[in-house]
Amino acid sequence: MSGKMNLKQLAEHLQLSPTTVSRALNGYPEVKEATRLRVEAAARAVGYSPNAWAKGLATGRAMAIGHVMPVSKSHEMVNPVFGDFITGASEAYLRAGYDMQLTLVDDEDEAMRYRNLRRRGLVDGIIVHAPLPADERIALLREIGLPFVVHGRASELPDDYAWIDMNNRRAFERATEHLLALGHRRIALVNGPERQDFALRRREGVLTALAAQGIEADPALLSSGEMTERLGYTATREMRALPDPPTAIVAASMVVALGIWRALRDEGVTLGREVSVVAHDDDLGYLRNGGDVPVFTATRASVRDAGRRAAEMVLEMIRDPSCAPLQTLIEAELILGQSTGRAPS
């Protein structure tokens, strides 16, 4: 019933040629409607599904998209948004009949892996995650000739490839503007790892907002690192020890914000009074599920949406390889909460 049954056997069973059965199953127009129905019914009945390897070999198409995620040998965190992103992507793949292949690569042998992916023919397209400002993979993939979409951007490279990205720069600019409007002048940033492109853009956004008010950024108020609670904690303690500590802090993620809160609590400082905190949330969907949290600038749902759109973009590029590079910029929501207050006078 559901055992092994191949096209040839199915064809014999139906008293038809493999050719016709294949055509019927793949929606070719030249097959008679009655025949098609008969074939489809039989296929369903015996639980036939084509052997993917034979199909791939014959067609040259993989019907699969590769997601490639760099993971340092060192214990770097896997960004929690990753799960949401691929959830969205898989929705699109499901609809289109594509599979998703996941490859985690060490930074070192990345190039080789891509070439392999291509030559082995396992994927028809690729989504590149976590790009660096001058990411080499972009040139590499173009050379290889595999359609690809970058989740994020490589700011130092010419903007002529396909990408989908949150407007990190603008989101952090707005968050900072918000704090400035509340009268804050000593505004700190606890940022993600600044070798990553997204973190650089976030930093730019903060600096832009400050500059617009004629404030020059104090390097002592700019911190960055892996987005952990520890980062938030230590950065805050250090900044609080400054002669002129910050009155407001922009946090790169809720996890970081948690560390900040702990640090402030340990110093007996009241959140929203002596110090205001604004956090970007792309990691845990507090907002969508939650209530009156601090300031947030992206929602979990939008990450999933980004994944879906990224997937649709690659599929489109596969369909029409000659099309101009698709680019999608997603604006973050800005939502205010209770942990921000006016600057103390």
Binding site for a copy of itself (CB under 8 A): 2, 4, 47-54, 56-57, 62, 64, 67, 71, 75, 77-80, 82-84, 86-87, 90-91, 94, 99-104, 115-116, 119-122, 144, 226, 228-231, 233, 254-255, 258-259, 261-262, 283-286, 288-291, 293, 300-301
d(CA 102, CA 97): 16
Q: How far is the first Cα of the chain from the last one, in angstroms, to the nearest whole number?
A: 78
Using alpha carbons, select from 286, 278, 335, 329 the residue that is nearest to residue 305: 329
What are the b/e assignments for 57-88, b being 16+ CB within 10 Å?
eeeeebbbbbbbbbeeeeeeeebbbbebbbeb
Among 44, 47, 59, 244, contact with DNA (rule: CB under 7 A): 59
Binding partner of 20, given DNA, a copy of itself, none, CB within 5-8 angstroms per partner class: DNA
CA-based torsion, 168, 203, 260, 293: positive or negative? negative
d(CA 60, CA 290): 47
Q: Say whether residue 30 binds DNA (CB under 7 A).
A: yes
Structure tokens at 250: 């922009």
Among 1, 2, 3, 4, contact with DNA (rule: CB under 7 A): 4
CA-based torsion, 21, 22, 25, 31: positive or negative? negative
Q: Say whether residue 45 binds DNA (CB under 7 A).
A: no
Among 40, 50, 96, 182, contact with DNA (rule: CB under 7 A): 50
Among 12, 26, 37, 102, contact with DNA (rule: CB under 7 A): 26
d(CA 176, CA 180): 6
Region from 22-30, 110-118, 282-290, 293-301 binding DNA, contact rule CB under 7 A: 22-30
Query: For residue 238, which amino acid is it?
Result: E
Structure tokens at 279: 């956090």
CB atoms within 10 A of CB 229: 18
Binding partner of 46, given DNA, a copy of itself, none, CB within 5-8 angstroms per partner class: none
Minimum distance from CB of 94 to DNA (Å)? 19
| DSSP label of 225 | -
Region from 5-13, 140-148, 186-194, 336-344 binding DNA, contact rule CB under 7 A: 5-13
Query: For residue 299, which amino acid is it?
Result: T
Minimum distance from CB of 29 to DNA (Å)? 7
Binding partner of 30, given a copy of itself, DNA, none, CB within 5-8 angstroms per partner class: DNA
Q: Say whether residue 242 binds DNA (CB under 7 A).
A: no
| Beta strand segments in 138-265, E | 148-151, 163-166, 187-191, 222-224, 248-251
Q: Say whether residue 55 binds DNA (CB under 7 A).
A: yes
Query: For residue 343, which amino acid is it?
Result: A
Query: For residue 56, which amino acid is it?
Result: G
Binding partner of 255, given DNA, a copy of itself, none, CB within 5-8 angstroms per partner class: a copy of itself
Nearest 5°: the CA angle 285, 286, 287 is 90
Helix (H, G, I), strand (E, B) or coil at 64: strand
Minimum distance from CB of 208 to a copy of itself (Å)? 30
Q: Say whether residue 46 binds DNA (CB under 7 A).
A: no
Q: What does the per-residue mask of binding to DNA show for 198-237, with x meaning CB under 7 A?
A: ----------------------------------------
- Over its C-alpha atoms, the chain yields an Rg (Å, rounded) of 26
Binding partner of 78, given a copy of itself, DNA, none, CB within 5-8 angstroms per partner class: a copy of itself
Region from 7-15, 64-72, 223-231, 247-255 binding DNA, contact rule CB under 7 A: 7-15
Minimum distance from CB of 149 to a copy of itself (Å)? 17
- Residues of the shown chain interacting with DNA in the complex, contacts defined by CB under 7 A: 4, 6-8, 15-20, 22-23, 25-26, 30-33, 35, 48, 50-51, 53-55, 57-60
